[in-house]
Each structure stands twice: as C-alpha cells, then as structure tokens.
Copies of this chain bind each other. A is one copy, B any other.
C-alpha cells in the first residue's frame, strides 16, 4: 500500500508555524500602522493578515466544507486580491480606506479560519488529505510571500512619516568592506527550473535545457560604498548609462540615490525597519530599481546575469544553501571571501537581465488558482535569491521573483556578471 503523501501532524505543525509567524510580524504594529496604504503598490498590514486567511477559506474550506459559508460575506469581496474567477473585488488602490474590520477583528477572522483548517487537517481521511495537501502547502507558501510583502509594505508606510518611526530591531555594527571576487562558470547546455518532489511554484516548471556561453558572476553583491562611487561619478546625471525608460524615471521622479536614502545636510542616511541611520558602506546596496541596477552595471562595464546564468551559477557553485535563520530585517555584510558565491539568499533579491516570461512548456493550472502566477508573465523582470525579509525556508535556487523594472520598494540588490558572449 502506498504511504500517504501528507502527514496530518506535520501539516498541522507547519500550519501553526506559518500562521503564528505572520502574527508575530504584525505584533509590533499599532492598529493605525496596520490600516494604511501609503501608495497603490502597498497593502495594509491587516489586509495582508486577512487576505492570506481568505486564501485558505476560498481555495480550501469552500471546496470541502459541506455547508460552507464565508465567515463574513463582505470579506469575500474585500480580501480577494486579484482572482477574477472568484468574483469582483474591492479596488486595490483603495485598500487603505477600509477601517473595519479593524486589526482586532481580523484576528478573530484568523482564529475562526485557523480552527476550521485545523479541524480539516486532523479530521479528514487520508485520501481526502492527499487531494487537499498541495492546496494546503500552496497556502503556506502564499502566506510566506505575504510575510515578505507585509514587511516591504510597512517599511514604506513608516518611511513617509516625518517622525521616522522604528518597526523593530537595531542595525548591525558598522561592517568592513571587502573586495568583490568572481566565480567563473563554464556554461554549455545546462538545465534550469525546478525538479524533484519538493514544493515549487508553477512558474519554476518545467525544468528545461538552455545554452550558455562561458561567463562569470560576482561572488558578492554590490555595496553601498560602491554605489556611492557611482553617484559621485554622476551616475544619476549621465543619460548614456541608462535605458530610455529608466532615464525617463530618473528625470520624472528626480532619482539621485537608492529609494530609502535621504540627504541629511550632506550625509546620506537610510530609512530601515530599525529607523533612520547613516548609510553603511559595507552593506549591500538595496531598494534600487532594475533601471538603476542596469545603469550601475553599464557604468562598471559589466552587466546583470540572465536568469539561467544566475540559477546555473548557484547550482554549479554547490555551496549556496537556503537560509534557516530568522530574517535579519536588514541585509548583512558579505564577510570574508570564500571562493564561493556569497549573499545568495537572505540579503537582497538580485535583479537579472531576464524578462519574466513562461518557461518552454509552461502551462497554468485550471481555475482560479491558475491566476496565481501565469497572468503576470508580461512587463516585469525576474529577481533571484531571496532577501532579509524573506521568511526562512521559503526561497529556492529555482525561485522566480518578479517586479516591474521601476520597482524600488522591494528589497532588491545587484550582483554583477560578465562574459557570456559567443566566442
């Protein structure tokens, strides 16, 4: 007899862990903090807390519970993010106008759904659980994605406040810059994409072949100190370094530094989740758009890696491994050179030069869940790695994160590449 794929006890433990982690991230925030949407891309904290709950309610409970009814009719409408197949939704840009349910009421919603999911996991027979397991697991990874979004978003909310509030924690001690090294990669006919029994999102599939000429990638991320050299050399004033759309943004939005840097009477400080502090030259630069990353690479006479180059370099390197620590909330210094790739995960998402497009043979699942990834494969760029805001254990080397080229509020960074031209 085949062993059941999903073990109820482990599923339940995982469920408790993921759900509790979300609440712990919201814990330092007042009801007011949890309510505000400081720009259209941002969602309120309490909306994130409710939406991930709605996800379990919609894709799990509504499929299974015999007399299913939403916890609240209007929540069905308020907390749908973008699933057209589930029905109409409250306008995304207006999420910050909704004061009720308040932060406390969202907690009640969470408790209700938690109890029902718990009961489901522990009570249903193994055959049913085998059918539902992958949806439950998707709910975990979905909630983890929103854990990072929650932190990204609250960072922005607090940044527009002239009181310069602190979310939590303290900055690292001043770091020591080191030299950027390089890792050579042979290339050839390589494979990219997820493989094996573990979880992946649909956009990481199928694993497929790609041709790469020999190339090299930097062994660490670009630092704040290196970015200051770019700025000092007129990086934000020299059109010839920029993509046309990027240059238009530089002028229209008067970019002259990374997103969260402020010029306090001649000294650069940076808004972080720990408050506003002087920029540390040894830390990786972060909160730069794809346009800025590309301009920086051009200035250095280099380029960004493509998506298959990034993934294959990490696989070929063989040393990089998933972060298991609690997220630091800030990127860390690379530390001494190791001969291997450093800062692969846990510091900054790394812009690639690849547009976010379907892999050869990709097809989205049927139904609403098929809207999860596939419909966004247009007009965005891929980032790889993971950041200091990514929950431990969430990211993979095949993980494809994506944002518009102009996005600056995600925790992004820059890894350089070189070579790769036909002989």
Chain B residue at minimum C-beta to C-beta distance from A46: B32
Chain B residue at minimum C-beta to C-beta distance from A215: B360
Interface-forming stretch among A178-186, A258-266, A317-325, A376-384? A376-384
Asked whether A99 lies within 8 Å of B420 as measured between CB atoms, the reply is: no
| A416 contacts the other chain (CB 8 A) | no
Name A32-79 residues within 8 Å CB distance of B.
32-36, 38, 46, 72, 74, 77-78
Report the separation of the CA atoms of residues A361 and B360 in the bound assembly, to the nearest whole angstrom: 23
Chain B's nearest CB lies how many Å from the CB of A409? 14
Interface-forming stretch among A90-98, A274-282, A391-399? A90-98
Report the separation of the CA atoms of residues A375 and B250 in the bound assembly, to the nearest whole angstrom: 14
Asked whether A420 lies within 8 Å of B361 as measured between CB atoms, the reply is: yes
Q: Indicate with 1 or 0, residue by residue over A406-423, a CB within 8 angstroms of chain B CB atoms.
A: 000000000000001110
Asked whether A36 lies within 8 Å of B96 as measured between CB atoms, the reply is: yes
Contacts of A94 in B (CB 8 A): 160
Q: A157-B97, A162-B74 are in contact. Are A379 and B405 (CB under 8 A)?
A: yes
| A208 contacts the other chain (CB 8 A) | yes
Q: Which of B38, B100, B357 contacts A32, CB < 8 Å?
A: B100
Chain B residue at minimum C-beta to C-beta distance from A154: B99
Chain B residue at minimum C-beta to C-beta distance from A189: B211
Asked whether B378 lies within 8 Å of A36 as measured between CB atoms, the reply is: no
Asked whether B161 lies within 8 Å of A98 as measured between CB atoms, the reply is: yes
Report the separation of the CA atoms of residues A279 and B36 in the bound assembly, to the nearest whole angstrom: 32
Q: A101-B163, A405-B379 are in contact. Are A209 and B78 (CB under 8 A)?
A: no
Q: Which of B30, B208, B377 contacts A102, CB < 8 Å?
A: B30
Asked whether A244 lies within 8 Å of B97 as measured between CB atoms, the reply is: no
Q: Which residues does A use to contact B, with CB under 8 Å?
A: 30-36, 38, 46, 72, 74, 77-78, 82, 84-85, 90, 94, 96-103, 157-158, 160-163, 165, 189, 206-211, 213, 239-240, 242-247, 290-291, 294, 306, 353-355, 357-358, 360-361, 370-371, 375-379, 405, 420-422
6 residue pairs bridging A and B, Cβ less than 8 Å apart: A74-B162, A77-B162, A78-B162, A213-B360, A245-B379, A378-B405
